[in-house]
Structure 1
């Protein structure tokens, strides 16, 4: 696996956007790595360049109606690419750039032999642990429709089909619905209509799984800061939190935030801006930044799921959260915060660099040289508007990791591990194969 190639363009006319993307890709491939032998299961394309059979494609919904034409035109111009995975969303991102609510196309060509990955979808699902062809899924990039019934359970079930139980990706939403791309060289998907046979369809799950020999490093960054002590839920019914630390939940929440029901307008205004971080009992991990009950934590770890407050129940002295809250959950009131989001994004980039450097820190003078490419999935409530300027979120990643090939999208919910997050970013980098030892 060598360094990936990526390109992006914006133009109100999709044929011109595609032309610009193709021109960038061709220029980069001409200026890229020298001729090399193919990997096992791979081949060599025109000009001696390594074949890149897998491509990731993200398109903003300004071009949603033209998705079949965009996909076909790219595929015709890049015959060496046999497998396409991606989605249509409100916003997409590329190296140092974001396209939010504007026309945009981003493509990344991935130098991976066909035996190292599998494209899947709801009608061509990922086999459990090991397929009949011997492929073993280690991790997977996932695109999912937020309207899918039992979504949380299905994400967990899909994670269990991988050896690492680790997924990365997000919920695909746009003004055109949940449009996803999953075109496989292993043949069309029969019995599911013209869309699926063409490699695009609406709803469900899709993505690409990677085998154990594809190295990745992935981190979750939170976009909020705690504003009150962490409390343990001692009684709850479904989404209604009734008792915190043995006391009426609503009383505890209002007291921690310095509010009183006697000033109801102030309570409503403050709670509209307040979120809650939920650390469920089964996710507790002492190695992470776990909130300590009764204290305001410095930050929330990646085992904390941020959810909205959606209602009050003064009669029961309770409040309602936009998720089920089992007893034993640690609950932390929090709020969206620009500087906290920036600092946490810098933190995960530093952690990725440290992991790439190796335990002794001597693997490479610059560990980011090991990055073949990256995928970034961010909440659609983040991006430039949340970070203070257009492209600011992607600029932080570029400053920390350099100008690595990167594509991704803004999601209606982020997927990492086996969980659905909110207000987060999920950054995943692919680690280039080690260079062969010299004779």
Structure 2
């Protein structure tokens, strides 16, 4: 029978004391533990190499993955804008996982394509971390997902005001890194959006790069005004941070879409600008972002996961957008506590990301939960 993972968390202000605190919580370390997950807030970013070496030396666990975040999370708790670290130790079958270092461009990934395999078979799934400074991350996410048997990866983009670093057996940066798993490691994963549609789907009938010119053959700004209502239409600046554009993903239901910011409007030509290149003939919805919408969608996602579980998860990794957490849910750790309320108490670690990865896309304003079962 597979054993639960081991969890530790500490918000002690000195890195060495926090690392010692985590090691104490992880004792006794099982002899079978062979992969660690490590997330530290960016106030510890400059000591990440020291923290990683300390954790490896004092646990005996050889392989580690993780990232830096402005905030990190553990079971039922979030630590945002404070010195904190979280660690989790997992046990996996021999040869069922492999940590891989930074892949920084498509050519490098293509050259390594044959290396995304375990025991001679393509890897089944990967958990990854990315560097926000690399403009090729969306393309790398899609290309890496295509190397998996399931076509599926999950992960998060490092958020940091200081060093932008990830962990992949050593401290790395510059692209995508992480760990791939074989089919011998069963997982369940779901995505929750932080927004809800406020109008119908619209067909993009004319666009130029990131500019929406017409929707359903009507001026885009007129359609936006119609969907958001008279009050917000009077002053679009009031809608900043509340109203977003959501590009539908072909073949998915209405709960799976790419949420992007509104970045401007031309009231003379009635054009709307968004923070994403608009593909030809795309479908788009306007959405609102609020606590009620985020809570309802997350509850629905967690209920779906609970219905598919036969036993409590052994462990989990959660990636949440920096725009979520207390600033969206209203109270500290409410987002993490909701996971525990619906799925029960089990080891969980993760961080607040600058973009979240699910399947083969880079999202924003979402939460991505991966359960090891």
Query: TM-score, length-normalised on structure 1?
Result: 0.79
- Which has a greater percent of strand? 2
Deviation at 1:52, TM superposition (A): 0.9
Aligned to 1:249: 220
Does residue 1:153 correspond to 2:154, yes or no? no
Deviation at 1:246, TM superposition (A): 1.2
Residue 36 of structure 2 aligns to a residue whose secondary structure is: strand
Matches of 2:317 and 2:270 in 1, distance apart?
Answer: 44
Is the CA contact (8 Å cut-off) linking 2:97 and 2:118 kept in structure 1?
no
After superposing on structure 2, the runs of 4+ consecutive aligned residues of structure 1 that deviate more than 6 Å are none
Deviation at 1:273, TM superposition (A): 2.6
Show structure 1 runs of 5+ residues with no match.
30-48, 184-198, 291-300, 358-366, 432-439
Aligned to 1:21: 22
Q: 2:354 aligns with which of 412, 418, 430?
A: 412
Task: For residues 219-240 of structure 1, give each alpha carbon's deviation from its aligned partner in whole angstroms, at most 9, with x where no partner exists.
Answer: 0001112223321111111111
Task: For residues 285-328 of structure 1, give each alpha carbon's deviation from its aligned partner in whole angstroms, at most 9, with x where no partner exists.
Answer: 3xx3x3xxxxxxxxxx12x1111001112343211110011232
Alignment of 1:71-82 (within 5 A): 71-79=52-60, 81-82=61-62
Is the CA contact (8 Å cut-off) linking 2:140 and 2:176 kept in structure 1?
no
Aligned to 1:63: 44
Aligned to 2:293: 340
CA RMSD between the two structures: 2.0
Matches of 2:77 and 2:236 in 1, distance apart?
Answer: 38
Show structure 2 runs of 5+ residues with no match.
none
Distance 1:356 1:272, change over 3 A: closer
Matches of 1:10 and 1:130 in 2, distance apart?
Answer: 36
Task: Give the stretch that moved more between structures: 307-316 or 11-20.
Answer: 307-316
Distance 1:165 1:93, change over 3 A: same
Distance 1:271 1:67, change over 3 A: closer
Residue 277 of structure 2 aligns to a residue whose secondary structure is: coil
Aligned to 1:276: 245
Matches of 2:308 and 2:370 in 1, distance apart?
Answer: 12
Task: For residues 86-111 of structure 1, give each alpha carbon's deviation from its aligned partner in whole angstroms, at most 9, with x where no partner exists.
Answer: 11111110111111100111111010
Matches of 2:293 and 2:272 in 1, distance apart?
Answer: 26
Task: For residues 358-395 of structure 1, give each alpha carbon's deviation from its aligned partner in whole angstroms, at most 9, with x where no partner exists.
Answer: xxxxxxxxx32xx1110100001111221111111100
Task: Give the stretch that moved more between structures: 132-141 or 122-131.
Answer: 122-131
Alignment of 1:324-363 (within 5 A): 324-357=277-310
Matches of 1:343 and 1:66 in 2, distance apart?
Answer: 38
Residue 122 of structure 2 aligns to a residue whose secondary structure is: coil
Deviation at 1:50, TM superposition (A): 4.0
Alignment of 1:56-205 (within 5 A): 56-79=37-60, 81-122=61-102, 127-128=113-114, 131=117, 134-183=120-169, 199-205=170-176
Does residue 1:306 correspond to 2:259, yes or no? yes
Matches of 1:406 and 1:260 in 2, distance apart?
Answer: 42
Is the CA contact (8 Å cut-off) linking 1:52 and 1:113 kept in structure 2?
no
Aligned to 1:41: none
Deviation at 1:70, TM superposition (A): 0.9
Deviation at 1:149, TM superposition (A): 2.3
Is the CA contact (8 Å cut-off) linking 2:98 and 2:118 kept in structure 1?
no
Aligned to 2:193: 222
Matches of 2:97 and 2:90 in 1, distance apart?
Answer: 11
Deviation at 1:178, TM superposition (A): 1.5
Aligned to 2:319: 377
Aligned to 1:393: 335
Between the two proteins, the alignment pairs up a number of residues equal to: 366
Matches of 1:260 and 1:347 in 2, distance apart?
Answer: 30
Deviation at 1:135, TM superposition (A): 4.8
Residue 374 of structure 1 aligns to a residue whose secondary structure is: strand
Q: Which has the larger radius of gyration?
A: 1
Is the CA contact (8 Å cut-off) linking 2:93 and 2:184 kept in structure 1?
no
Deviation at 1:343, TM superposition (A): 1.6
Query: TM-score, length-normalised on structure 2?
Result: 0.93
Aligned to 2:8: 7
Alignment of 1:33-72 (within 5 A): 49-72=30-53
Aligned to 1:209: 180
Matches of 2:80 and 2:264 in 1, distance apart?
Answer: 30
Is the CA contact (8 Å cut-off) linking 2:319 and 2:367 kept in structure 1?
yes
